[in-house]
C-alpha cells in the first residue's frame, strides 16, 4: 500500500459543497491500495503513519508522532498514487487495486484507524473530492509498505 502524508495545521475534504471530513493539526493521509495488497499491509501502513515522527518537539526537531501531539488523522482514498507514467504522457493506473478491493482495503484501514486513534476523519471513497489543507512546514512524505 502507498500513502502520501502531509503534516497539516488544518485540512478538510469537500464533496458537492459539503464538508465530509475535517481536522485541525495532524496528518492528511492520501492512501492507495495496489493490486495484491492485503489487510496485513494496511495494518502495517497504519502503524507506520501513527508512529511517524514528523512533528516538532521542544527543541524544534521532528521527533513526535501524530499520537504524541494528539493530532487528527484525515484519510483520503487516492488511487492515482498508483500511477505509472513511464510509458508516455497519460498515466496508467493498472497497478491500482480494482475498485471493490480498493474500497474494502480503504474501509479496513479506516476502521483500524478509528480503533487505534481518537480523531479520524475521512473523505468519500470514489467521490470527486476537493481537499483543502494548510501544509505545516511544508512536510510531505511518501510512505510505502510491502
Residue entry with cell 524544534: 60
130 is catalytic: no
* Active-site residue, selected from the candidate residues 78, 109, 121, 122: 78
* Active-site residue, selected from the candidate residues 6, 25, 55, 79: 79
* Active-site residue, selected from the candidate residues 80, 94, 130, 144: 80
55 is catalytic: no
78 is catalytic: yes
Q: Which residues are annotated as catalytic?
A: 78-80
Amino acid at each position: 500500500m502507498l500513502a502520501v502524508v502531509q503534516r497539516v495545521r488544518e485540512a478538510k475534504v469537500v464533496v458537492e459543497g459539503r464538508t465530509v471530513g475535517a481536522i485541525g493539526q495532524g496528518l492528511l493521509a492520501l492512501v492507495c491500495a495496489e493490486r495484491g495488497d492485503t489487510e496485513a499491509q494496511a495494518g502495517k501502513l497504519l502503524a507506520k503513519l501513527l508512529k511517524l515522527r514528523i512533528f516538532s518537539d521542544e527543541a524544534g526537531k521532528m521527533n513526535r508522532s501524530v499520537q504524541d501531539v494528539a493530532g487528527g488523522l484525515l484519510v483520503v482514498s487516492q488511487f492515482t498514487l498508483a500511477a505509472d507514467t513511464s510509458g508516455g504522457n497519460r498515466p496508467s493506473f493498472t497497478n491500482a487495486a480494482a475498485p471493490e478491493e480498493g474500497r474494502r482495503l480503504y474501509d479496513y484501514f479506516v476502521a483500524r484507524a478509528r480503533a487505534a486513534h481518537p480523531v479520524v476523519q475521512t473523505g468519500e471513497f470514489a467521490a470527486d473530492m476537493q481537499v483543502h489543507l494548510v501544509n505545516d512546514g511544508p512536510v510531505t512524505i511518501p510512505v510505502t509498505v510491502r
